[in-house]
Amino acid sequence: MGEVGYDMRELKRARYAVAAVFAVHGAVTGSFATRVPWIQDHASVGAGQLGIALAFPAIGASVAMPLAGRISHTFGARTALRGLISLWTLALILPSLAPNLYTLCLALFIYGATAGMADVAMNALGVEVENRLDKSIMSGLHGMWSAGALIGSAAGTLAAHLGSDARLHHALAAAVLTVLGLVACQWVLDIKPTEDEEPPPRFTLPPRSALLIGAVGFCAVFAEGASLDWSAVYLRDQLATSAGLAAACTTGFTLTMALARIAGDRIVDRFGAVRTVRVGGLCAALGGLLVVVAGSPAVAMGGFALLGLGIAVVVPLCFAAAGRSGPNPSQAIAGVATITYTSGLIAPGAIGTLAQATSLVVSFGLVTVLACGLIAFAGVLRAGDRNRPKVSPASAAVPDPRP
């Protein structure tokens, strides 16, 4: 890979550009999530069929994410991210156009595939900027994703309240977000391979390091998915709260995660990735325990808030550690992303199945046990610590160009 020098001003600009890309990526997710009921009605599918269809984004992402490194190697990191983020924003249009279950599954497969590839490319470039700045930024980048998701969901909520057609809403949102993504990509790092450098494989199994790091991410994302999808149900069914208070619990959990991610970089720089995740795991385990023993809505809401606080920075640190864990960073990041996507896919269903067989209290007992896993296995994230010798930094395509 050819050497390209960047001064501090260019690196800061690249940091803000990648942050904007993260926000755009999150805004697509928020825009889609709020219109799922409209899409369900338009495609004339029942709850069970919708559940099947909603598995396809994760399937598409898992299949396509290993391709991101090859695409970045072929076109260069900036051009690849420009194309992948545009495909992702434009894919927002497809689900609302689907007239039946089969076309909806296909649309959501494409939606997930483009999401996953853009996810890998932007995380790898985020790790590259973090390495060159020599300070933690990944937590803040994921905080920007959460902020983008909140903005997208707020706009989608307004559109739904006004009774707008989701096809029109998503077409307008896709157009705006595509332009914003293309503008932001003008200032990300432009990393290109050398002529004699071997391209990464199109498909390959994740390296062992990614499996271990991904296991930590699995625990965090499982707790996140369970809390997002079941916290309101838990308050309503277990504690007999009003629908408004139950919904406020979910909103509070989301806000806690977003704020913790935005503030997380300073904590990581001061205490290191391992200690941060261990303390976060302790907070999450305590939060899960409060949820399990809660006799009042206030205690349960406090427990969910602690869960959000504890797991907030884990996934960003998993991506950062993966990007420094070996000579094929894009492969490692894709492996970690695949594991976390899988966790997010199975968590809601696993919680529901266990709750049906036992109770929601037992289900969140499982979440608490997994949160304890963060404490036990945080050591595998040592590659993400700023105070240890780093493996050569990496871009979305190949290892760092510096000799």
Residue 92 in contact with residue 174, Cβ under 8 Å? yes
Rounded mean pLDDT, 371-395: 69
Express each pLDDT in 12-61 by its tens digit.
999 999 999 999 999 998 898 888 889 999 999 987 788 788 888 888 98
What gap in Å lies between CA 260 and CA 140, rounded to an integer? 9
List the alpha helices (DSSP H) in 76-207: 77-91, 93-97, 101-133, 138-161, 166-185
Phi and psi at 399, nearest 5°, equal: -60, 165
8-state DSSP, 72:
H
Residue 206 in contact with residue 120, Cβ under 8 Å? no
Neighbours of 63 (CB within 10 A): 15
Please check the confidence at residue 312 and state whether its pLDDT lies above 90: yes
**Host H or E run for residue 244:** helix 243-271
Rounded mean pLDDT, 311-339: 85
Mean pLDDT across the chain: 86
List the alpha helices (DSSP H) in 272-399: 273-293, 297-311, 314-323, 329-357, 360-377
Type of residue numbered 135 = K
Express each pLDDT in 224-239 by its tens digit.
888 887 888 888 889 9
What Rg value do the Cα atoms of the chain yield, rounded? 20
What gap in Å lies between CA 243 and CA 82, rounded to an integer? 42
The pLDDT assigned to 46 comes to 87
Q: Best-predicted range by mean pLDDT among 124-133, 337-346, 377-386?
A: 124-133
What gap in Å lies between CA 108 and CA 124, rounded to an integer? 24
**What angle (nearest 5°) sits at the alpha carbon of residue 26, between those of residues 25 and 31?**
105
The pLDDT assigned to 392 comes to 38
- The CA–CA distances, whole Å, from 151 to 18, 29, 147, 169 equal 17, 10, 6, 14
Q: Kindly compute the dihedral angle of the four CA atoms of residues 99, 101, 106, 111, in this order, to the nearest 10 degrees.
A: 80
Position 174 confidence tier, pLDDT thresholds 50, 70, 90? very high
What gap in Å lies between CA 105 and CA 95, rounded to an integer? 8
What gap in Å lies between CA 335 and CA 63, rounded to an integer? 11
Least confident of 27-31, 298-302, 395-399: 395-399
Residue 138 in contact with residue 317, Cβ under 8 Å? yes
Evaluate the CA torsion angle 216, 219, 220, 222 in order and state its sign. Answer: positive
Type of residue numbered 287 = G
Position 394 confidence tier, pLDDT thresholds 50, 70, 90? very low
Residue 237 in contact with residue 362, Cβ under 8 Å? no
**Structural tokens at position 341:** 């996507």
Percentage of the chain lying above the pLDDT 90 cut: 48
**Greater pLDDT, 131 or 375:** 375
What gap in Å lies between CA 303 and CA 253, rounded to an integer? 9
Note if the pTM is more than 0.85: no
Express each pLDDT in 232-269 by its tens digit.
888 888 998 887 788 788 778 878 888 899 899 999 99
Please check the confidence at residue 87 and state whether its pLDDT lies above 70: yes
Cross-strand bridge partners of residue 399: 394
